[in-house]
Structure 1
Amino acid sequence: MTWAKDWVGSSPGTHIWLLVIGITSLVIAAASEGLGQFLVHRTSSNIHELNEHPLPSLLISGFWIERPESFLLYAVMFELLHANVERWTGTARWLLTVGGAHIAATLASQELVLLAIEGHRLPRSMTHVVDIGVSYGLAAAAGVLTYRLRPPWRYGYLAGVLVFFGIPLLTGATFTDFGHAIALAMGFAAWPLTPAAAEEPPPEDGTGPADRAAGPPPEQRPESPQER
């Protein structure tokens, strides 16, 4: 099917990422309960792993999901969000946006966990909490996709995104909900990286490019009074 090949070829990063998640999901599904728990903890970007293995834990945690049965749902979300954003902005800018959001949201959310532990609002066992998944990257892609839509669809989509991520944040938010909000905000902030930022707004004076290139019209000299 040519259309499927073209679609995958136009968003290679999305589908490579999805392929890796599919493989790791199969590993979790086939592993024993003990091995599965070891893997999700070992690949988490929690406080313990960030202290012990900061760079690997930040990167690897984005290639695992805790429940393999959710893979099909994530596949749909990848096609709707990541693939469209990558096709529109290009692989490099897409990767910079979602990768940066994943890292920033992970670090910020775990800092909140650390502060809560130090303030005795969370148990110290939360330093080993399972923190893996791809949702921060999806939240960032959802933010970027806002600029892909034209009004009035943009406003309806934006309202839906804000409600989806805002309600959990306002009703008993977890550290993951804060991470989603940070990633979404970074997606919104990535507007300069989108093709929409390169589109020149129409001039306010109503002149076209040719008129502006020609310069201002010559001044009209007042006619001298004619002799009678």
Structure 2
Amino acid sequence: MVGEMVSTVLRALARTRVTVVYAVMLAAMTTALLALGPAIQNRIISHASTNLHNLSRGHVGTLLVSAFVVDAGPIYVWLPGLVCLLALAELLWCSLRLVVAFATGHIGATLLVAAGLTAAVELGYLSTDVTRATDVGMSYGASAVLGSLSAAIPRRWRPAWTGWWVAVAVAVMIVGRDFTDIGHSVALLLGMATATRFGHATGWTPVRYLLLVPASSFGFLMLADSTVALVAGAGLGVLAALLAETVMRRPIRRTVSTEWHASARRRVTSLSSGDHL
């Protein structure tokens, strides 16, 4: 019995090896930062940040390092939800596609936001203080992974799911407090677009449906990180989900109705032909 349990756990860990390794690295880095104290912690975060100051000086290594430095509060608040999200995506898409989705969001959204900030600073819309703003963490990558789930959701619920998250992204960009809110929304949309090239997901099981609950809850709270964003995102998301469901189901119902009438006409024609024989 014990041997079977150990074997099951090992198989599960092997199928989510990227998630496990990344979670362990995040936990180790976060613990080390806490142990080093606030002064050194702030210095490391400053050097790892993908802000305009670092990127403009050619510190492209921050695009990688920043994914392992998280400044988002106590680790027990965000790590369990992140693990559920990454593990679900890895089970559905496999390890390589998980890495592709995460990297696309983390690097792609960072560069797009940096380009937008550069233009805003040059045109005088933003203060130069933004060039040294802290920008570290896994949230852009995680947002893209969340977006990649849209292509894996069962076809029956995909319109409502996609409509919900697109609306949430739009709401967050509208009411967001800073550039990271825009980055999260951009990363989510990048993940959705990237996953359209992934092909078919491996399929859903009861465990994966169970993981979807904390994964999506974590994703929503990560995107909508203020009361206004929560209310706006939820409200607009519900409306968009209902609209998407209505619009996408109408052609299906019309097709079913057309097929039924065509079948009925064929039966009538067949019966009529039989009367003449």
TM-score higher than 0.5: yes
Match of 1:92 among 76, 83, 96: 96
Residues in 2 aligned to 1:196 and 1:5: alpha-carbon distance in whole angstroms:
22
User: Is the CA contact (8 Å cut-off) linking 1:81 and 1:145 kept in structure 2?
Assistant: no
Residues in 2 aligned to 1:92 and 1:81: alpha-carbon distance in whole angstroms:
15
User: Is the CA contact (8 Å cut-off) linking 2:143 and 2:191 kept in structure 1?
Assistant: yes
Residues in 1 aligned to 2:156 and 2:200: alpha-carbon distance in whole angstroms:
19
> Is 1:5 aligned with 2:10?
yes
**Greater alpha carbon shift after TM alignment, 77-86 vs 160-169:** 160-169
Residues in 2 aligned to 1:142 and 1:6: alpha-carbon distance in whole angstroms:
24
Match of 1:142 among 117, 139, 146: 146
User: Is the CA contact (8 Å cut-off) linking 1:29 and 1:68 kept in structure 2?
Assistant: no
Residues in 2 aligned to 1:31 and 1:67: alpha-carbon distance in whole angstroms:
17
| Larger Rg computed on CA atoms | 1
After TM superposition, the score normalised by the length of structure 2 is: 0.65
* 1:13–1:53 CA distance, 2 compared to 1 (3 A): farther
> Is 1:56 aligned with 2:48?
no
TM-superposed CA distance for 1:53, in Å, is: 4.1
Which segments of 5 or more consecutive residues in structure 1 lack a partner in the other structure? 198-203, 205-228
**Greater alpha carbon shift after TM alignment, 39-48 vs 188-197:** 188-197
> Is 1:41 aligned with 2:46?
yes
What corresponds to 1:81 in structure 2? 85
Q: Give 1:29's aligned amino acid.
A: L
TM-superposed CA distance for 1:167, in Å, is: 2.0
What corresponds to 2:213 in structure 1? none
What corresponds to 1:27 in structure 2? 32
Which segments of 5 or more consecutive residues in structure 2 lack a partner in the other structure? 203-254, 256-277
TM-superposed CA distance for 1:125, in Å, is: 2.1
Aligned-residue RMSD, C-alpha = 2.3
Residues in 1 aligned to 2:9 and 2:174: alpha-carbon distance in whole angstroms:
40
How many residues of Structure 1 are paired with residues of Structure 2 in the alignment?
197
TM-superposed CA distance for 1:168, in Å, is: 1.8
User: Is the CA contact (8 Å cut-off) linking 1:110 and 1:175 kept in structure 2?
Assistant: no
